[in-house]
Amino acid sequence: MTYLSTRGAAPQLSFDDVLLTGLAPDGGLYVPEVYPTLDPSVIEGLRGRPYIEVAEVVIRPFSPEGDFHLEDAYRSFAHPAVTPLVQTGAEDFLLELFHGPTLAFKDVAMQWLGPMFSSRLAAAGRRMTIVCATSGDTGGAAIEAMAGRENISICVLHPNEAISNVQRRFMTTVESENVLNLAVEGSFDDCQRLVKEMFAHDAFRQAVSLGAVNSINWARIVAQTVYYVTSSLTLGGEGRLVSYCVPTGNFGDIFAGFVAKQLGAPIGQLIIATNENDILDRTLRTGRYEVTGVVKTQSPSMDIQVSSNFERLIHAASGGDAELVTSLMGALKQSGSFTLPDAVRARMAEDFLSFRVSEEAVSARMSKTFSETAMLVDPHTAVGLEAAAQARVEGLKGPLVTLSTAHPAKFPDAVKTATGREPSLPPGCRDLYSREERFEVIGADLESLEKRISTGFGTAE
């Protein structure tokens, strides 16, 4: 299995090299040369198997060599099923992805990436500086997975004052010599742009041996593919396809669903659920991708305009047209917009639906879910549940799984305002508010950032 860049001008790599390279040097994202499929009898044989066994079989076609350290990865999860399904209606389900140590779906991939990075770096005799952009959840999960690892340093950029206190504390209260937290004066899009600019700066990239754990790293997508396979086999099979409604920002999670569908899992429609930062909904409906400026919402992890993994979908939906991807991404950089060719948009419409959810509807959905089921859901999950309800109104039939991407206690203010109930943190992180925080505030410019990273890590006051 080899991987190529969506922009076609980077060397082809193996899985282990893609893991350690992150973003391709031509600015593109690595994708498999051919999306793998599993034999239907192999898929069928996975039904009801433990999560780790399914993960081993699902990941293997993407990475034919080496140990995946899956036992290490998933022992930190509080639920034996790792990602349990909960029934909420006759054919409606929630897939709970928040049972990892930092209470969001990012742990599912990141707990695996920790041991994978350590083992592959040790084998290569290398060390690495990971720089990660976060709108709130990736950062905490990455720090939890990488803190204290010998051959890794990790710097996380979050938008200053634009994430919840619990999200920030999961990052800034970890005391470790290899961790640096920087609060950037800007939006998540600024943080992500800085990471991409750093990858494009050859001298710096090489000097610090730069690595990525955002979903620009293909390994993130592969790990997230597993829960689509386990859940679609629990609820579906031949002639019974399972649809998914996915709260979406950077398009990594829903793209993993697309990859699981290519593998042969019984998956129907993939529903993109956006908050008021609705660039993906507009694009799916009109073909025009246009950055309009980010607005702050109660689902801050999805306050994103430049949705990195959409590039992977354009590449796949255009039959691997790297020239088209390069020209659209060039237009995005120049003018903040591009228009999809009709054939590419039509191909996307075969797999994807999309809905935009207003702030009022998010609050109303949290409240309705609580009064009807006594469940507290976080605002990102509420975006998904509301979009799922809209899809039902428009006639979607069959089993429908909404991804529950974060624990409600990560967003206590929004949940309490909507429901009158304050969600409590699970045991194990109840001391989060009494731990000391460490982070520095920095401007959104590459020069200052590279200078700060070069100065060294450890605990910043």
Ligand X SMILES: N[C@@H](CCOP(=O)(O)O)C(=O)O
Contacting ligand PLP within 158-187 (CB under 6 A): none
**Closest listed residue to residue 87, CA positions, set 78, 96, 79:** 96
User: Residue 103, CB half-sphere, CA atoms under 13 Å: how many?
Assistant: 26
Binds ligand PLP by CB under 6 A, chosen from 249, 266, 399, 408: 249
The answer to whether residues 311 and 6 touch, using CB atoms and an 8 Å cutoff, is yes
Minimum distance from CB of 461 to ligand X (Å)? 24
Query: What, of ligand X, ligand PLP, none, does residue 96 touch, CB below 5 to 8 Å by kind?
Result: none
Query: What, of ligand PLP, ligand X, none, does residue 262 touch, CB below 5 to 8 Å by kind?
Result: none
Binds ligand PLP by CB under 6 A, chosen from 248, 298, 318, 326: 248
The answer to whether residues 284 and 349 touch, using CB atoms and an 8 Å cutoff, is yes
Among 136-144, 271-279, 319-327, 437-445, the segment contacting ligand X (CB under 6 A)? 136-144
What is the number of residues in the chain? 461
Query: What, of ligand X, ligand PLP, none, does residue 405 touch, CB below 5 to 8 Å by kind?
Result: ligand PLP
The answer to whether residues 28 and 322 touch, using CB atoms and an 8 Å cutoff, is yes
Query: What, of ligand PLP, ligand X, none, does residue 231 touch, CB below 5 to 8 Å by kind?
Result: none
Contacting ligand PLP within 295-334 (CB under 6 A): 301-302
DSSP bridge pairs for 289: 338
Start-to-end CA distance of the chain, whole Å, equals: 45
Report if residue 377 touches ligand PLP, rule: CB under 6 A: no
- Residues whose CB falls within 8 Å of the CB of residue 360, separated by 6 or more in sequence, listed in order: none
Minimum distance from CB of 304 to ligand X (Å)? 6
Binds ligand X by CB under 6 A, chosen from 63, 88, 118, 138: 138
Report if residue 137 touches ligand X, rule: CB under 6 A: yes
Residue 170 to residue 156: CA distance in whole angstroms: 12
Report if residue 134 touches ligand X, rule: CB under 6 A: yes
Among 21-29, 34-42, 226-234, 249-257, the segment contacting ligand PLP (CB under 6 A)? 249-257
Contacting ligand X within 32-71 (CB under 6 A): none
Residue 22 to residue 16: CA distance in whole angstroms: 10
Strands 85-87 and 92-96: antiparallel
Q: Which amino acid is at 290?
A: E
Name the one residue in this structure whose structure tokens are 């060390």. 127
Tell me if residue 296 is catalytic: no
Report if residue 136 touches ligand X, rule: CB under 6 A: yes
The answer to whether residues 158 and 191 touch, using CB atoms and an 8 Å cutoff, is yes
Report if residue 299 touches ligand X, rule: CB under 6 A: no
Residue 20 to residue 219: CA distance in whole angstroms: 9
Nearer to ligand X, 268 or 412 (CB): 412
Minimum distance from CB of 288 to ligand X (Å)? 23
Binds ligand PLP by CB under 6 A, chosen from 62, 170, 204, 251: 251
Binds ligand PLP by CB under 6 A, chosen from 20, 104, 132, 208: 104
Residue 312 to residue 144: CA distance in whole angstroms: 27
* Centroid of chain to Cα 332: 22
Tokens of 83: 């990602």
Contacting ligand PLP within 391-410 (CB under 6 A): 405-406
- Residues whose CB falls within 8 Å of the CB of residue 334, separated by 6 or more in sequence, listed in order: none
Neighbour order of strands in the sheet with 440-443? 210-211, 128-133, 152-159, 179-185, 440-443
Report if residue 297 touches ligand X, rule: CB under 6 A: no
The answer to whether residues 25 and 35 touch, using CB atoms and an 8 Å cutoff, is no
Report if residue 247 touches ligand PLP, rule: CB under 6 A: yes
The answer to whether residues 270 and 296 touch, using CB atoms and an 8 Å cutoff, is no
Name the one residue in this structure whose structure tokens are 């990436």. 113
Report if residue 252 touches ligand PLP, rule: CB under 6 A: yes
Binds ligand X by CB under 6 A, chosen from 186, 249, 379, 384: 249
Nearer to ligand X, 93 or 251 (CB): 251
Report if residue 378 touches ligand X, rule: CB under 6 A: no
Report if residue 303 touches ligand X, rule: CB under 6 A: no
Nearer to ligand PLP, 178 or 187 (CB): 187
Total chain residues near ligand PLP (CB under 6 A):
17
The residues carrying an active-site annotation are 106
Which residues contact ligand X by CB under 6 A?
134-139, 214-215, 249-250, 252, 301, 308
Which residues contact ligand PLP by CB under 6 A?
104, 135-137, 215, 247-253, 301-302, 380, 405-406
